[in-house]
Amino acid sequence: MADYWQATVTTPVNIAVIKYWGKRSVALNLPTNASLSVTLHQDQLCTTTTAQCSKEFASDRLWLNGKEEVIKPGGRTDTCIQEMKKLRKAYEDKYEDPHPASEWHVHLCSFNNFPTAAGLASSASGYAALVHCLATVYRLPNTSTELSLIARQGSGSACRSLFGGFVAWDMGVNEDGSDSKARQVASEDHWDDINAVICVVSDEKKGTSSTSGMQRTVETSPLIQERIRLVPARMAEMERAIAAQDFDAFAQLTMKDSNNFHAVCLDTSPPIFYMNDVSRALVALVHEFNRVSILQKRGHRAAYTFDAGPNAVIYCLRRNVKDIVNMVMHYFPQAEPFKDTYKVFYGKDTPGQMPL
Ligand code: DP6
C-alpha cells in the first residue's frame, strides 16, 4: 500500500456580478443575500494546490506562495480539512471503502498566479482548490454542489469557484447552512463570447478584509437592509439576462450591483473605501463608452464591477474587447500618470483578450 497519497488541482477565480456582502452566521459563513458570479478561464487567474497525505507527517501544514502559514485549530483551513475528513468517513461507512489518507496529516502547497488579497478573489479560488484537492486525494466521488457546502466555510465566494460558467450561491434558509450552496446557472459553453478585461489598479494587499468589512457593514449600515430587500429580484433578472444572452441587461445589472455594494460600504461606520480615484475614472470612462454606444443603437457594450479593492473587471462581448482595451490604454497609458500602478491582463493567444 502506498505510504503517501497526493493530488494537484487548479481552480479558477470567479468574479461576482451580484455581490455577496454580509453574513447572517459568522460561524457557518451564511450570507445575508444570494450572489451570482462568472468563473474565469482556468488558464487565467487561478490557484494551483497540491495536497500530500502521509503517515510520516506530524501535523497539517500549509504553504501559500512559498511561505508557510499557520493553520489555526478551528480556523477556516482547519474547518475545511476536518469537514473533508468527515465527508470521507461518511463515504467509508456507507460504501465500506476505507482509504488511509484521511487518517493521516496533510501538507498543502498553494500558488496563486496573481496578487493575493488585492481584491482579485484569491480566497475564492484558494479554498475551492483546497476542497477540490482533498476530494481528489480522498478519492471522493462528490458533486461540486456537495463540495461547495464545505468551500463556503473557508470563504463564502469560494463555493462558486467549484463550477465553471455562471454560478449562483443560493443563500438558503436552514439554520445549519445545509441549503446554502452553489448552483450552476449556465455552463461556460452557454455564452462563451463573454470576456473579462481586468484592470489592475493596485496589487497591494487591501486595507479592510472582506470578512471584517462585511461584518462592520451588517452591524452599522441601515442601507444594507435595502440591499437585502432588492437582491432577490436582481438575481432573478440576472438569471434571465444570462439565459437570454442579453448583454445590455447583464451590463446594467452588473454595474448597478457593484455601485450598490460600494454605496453600502460607504454607509458603513467608519466607512470603507475600496475604490480609489483611478477606479472612479474607469467608471466614468465605461459610462461614456456606453453613452456613445447607446447613441449608435448598440446598447451597453461594457460593464465594470469592483470587489473589495480598487481593481476593475470590465465584462464585455469578445467582439468589443479590442475597443475597450484600446480605450483604457488611451486614457490610462502605462507611463504617466499611472506609471506602474495600472495594467491590463491580456489573454494568452490574442493580445487584449481574456477568454472566460
Ligand atoms: C466583494 O468570500 O472573501 O468579493 O466569506 O468572509 O471569506 P469571506 O468573504 P469573501 O467575500 C467576497 C466579497 C466580494 C463579493 C463576492 O465575491 O461576491
Instruction: Tell me if the pTM is above 0.90.
Output: yes
* pLDDT class of 17 with cuts at 50, 70, 90: very high
**pLDDT at residue 116, rounded to an integer:** 61
The CA dihedral of 152, 156, 160, 162, to the nearest 10 degrees, is -40
Per-residue model confidence as pLDDT tens digits over 147-199 = 999 999 999 999 999 999 999 999 999 999 999 999 999 999 999 899 998 88
Per-residue model confidence as pLDDT tens digits over 86-111 = 999 888 888 777 788 888 999 999 99
Question: How many Cα atoms are found within 13 Å in the side-chain-facing hemisphere of 155?
Answer: 24
* pLDDT class of 346 with cuts at 50, 70, 90: very low
CA of 210 to the centre of ligand 1 (A): 6
Which runs of E-coded beta strand occur in 113-193?
166-169, 182-186
CA of 20 to the centre of ligand 1 (A): 6
* Closest to 109 in 3D by CA, of 60, 182, 41: 60
For the residues of 304-354, what is the DSSP string, one character each?
EEE-SSS-EEEEEEHHHHHHHHHHHHHHS-TTTTSTTT-EEEPPSSSTT--
Rg of the Cα atoms in the chain: 21
Closest ligand 1 atom to Cα of 152: 5
ipTM score of complex = 0.99
Over 70: is that where the pLDDT of 121 sits? no
Could you tell me if the CB of 19 is within 6 A of ligand 1?
yes
Could you tell me if the CB of 16 is within 6 A of ligand 1?
yes
Higher-pLDDT residue of 205 and 319 is 319
Per-residue model confidence as pLDDT tens digits over 206-248 = 689 999 999 999 999 999 999 999 999 999 999 999 999 999 9
Bin 165: left if φ > 0, else alpha if -120 < ψ < 50, else beta.
Answer: left
- Helices then strands, counting H and E runs in the chain, come out as 8, 15
Could you tell me if the CB of 279 is within 6 A of ligand 1?
no
For the residues of 73-100, what is the DSSP string, one character each?
TTSHHHHHHHHHHHHHHHHHHHH----G
CA of 202 to the centre of ligand 1 (A): 18
Amino acid symbol at 103: E
Kindly state the DSSP code that residue 208 receives in the 8-state scheme. Answer: S
Cell numbers found for residue 185: 446557472
Over 90: is that where the pLDDT of 60 sits? yes
Taking the C-alpha atoms of residue 144 and residue 184, their distance in angstroms, rounded to an integer, is 9
